Chain A
Amino acid sequence: MNENELITSVLNGNTNAFGPLVTRYQELVFNTCMGFVHNADEANDLTQDVFIRAFEKLSQFNHQASFSTWLYRIAINTSLNAVRSKKSQLFQRMGSWFETENKAGFEMPSDQNLTPESLMLTTEQSALVQKELDKLSEKQRVAFVLSRCENLPQKEIASIMQISEGAVESLIKRAKTNLAKNISSYFKK
């Protein structure tokens, strides 16, 4: 059965037809959620929520965009809501009050291991990148996640975010510049 037939079958009451759709798109949804929450357990829970929401709202899917685009939108909204609610938790705020700045604390990597393949980030370094990723504006973050974590072309990102391709390009560029500048400020000069 192809995608449209599966969707029609689910809408006609055959719940089991939703299973193949989950199997087909679980990686896509998981990677998107992971790009926002950076935690496998949380990303798995969010992936489940995304599919449940998609199942409940399937009758609203109007075939104007592809099913994956529609699913991406649900995944982004669900992830952003999770991130927002996490941020609003009191202890998170308290944590940031007492957060100590660790500026200029990292040695700059040497020439030999300056490639993503050879480099292994320590827990501290990963935490720093994650923190700086979380500081990006929501739009920059969405564009960055879809571009780098999902390797989507700008045209598809534009369709998902419902903005122009030029705007997507600008968002990705700004996200990368902000990330690189903010992280580089932690290196010992």
Chain B
Amino acid sequence: MNCTECQTKITSYPEEKPSPETLQSMKTHLQSCKNCRALYAASVWVDTFVTEEKRIKVNPFMTTRVMAQIEKQTALSPNSGLVRLLNPQVLLVAASIVLALFLGVSAGSFYQPATFTEQVPEEFQYLNDAGMESLTYLINE
């Protein structure tokens, strides 16, 4: 077996598994060829790395994590209560109510009931009620 054949077999593994005879001639070649041996060793390193990585398992709470995140997002989706409040129609109705209340309160504040404005003659302004004779006294007279 030459280097090209050996290297092709190394890089084709595991898709193309060599026959026992090929494997034997590969082993013989690898013992004598440093370059092919290095290539084979590198392939084994890659295999080992992939095998080690595959041993790492996904977070056991992944489903819970994902569902919690989805729930959070759904709460902010266009159909959720909070976002529904930001709907233009809802906002228009709310603004109308606020405006009506404001106008009502303002109208109520500006209204002043009619007051008695007739001027009291000056001579009556200084009348001393205490000094006046009581009506009862005059009746008894």
Contact = CB atoms under 8 A, between A and B. Distances in A.
Interface in A73-113: 108-109
Contacts, number: 128
Contacts of B38: 108, 184, 187, 189
Contacts of A184: 35, 38-39, 41-42
Interface in A101-135: 108-109, 114-117, 119-121, 125-126, 128-130, 133
A177 B9 CA distance: 11
Interface stretch (B61-69, B108-116, B122-130): B61-69
Contact of A44 (B34, B40, B59): B59
B22 interface: no
A187 B36 CA distance: 12
Interface in A133-185: 133, 147-149, 169, 172-173, 176-177, 179-184
B9 to A, nearest CB: 12
Chain A: interface residue count, which band? 35 or more
Where chain B touches its partner, the secondary structure class is helix
A114 B41 CA distance: 7
28 contacts: A15-B71, A15-B74, A18-B70, A26-B58, A26-B62, A26-B63, A29-B58, A30-B57, A31-B54, A48-B66, A52-B66, A108-B37, A109-B45, A120-B48, A121-B49, A129-B45, A129-B49, A130-B49, A147-B15, A148-B50, A149-B50, A173-B11, A179-B43, A179-B46, A180-B40, A183-B42, A183-B46, A184-B35
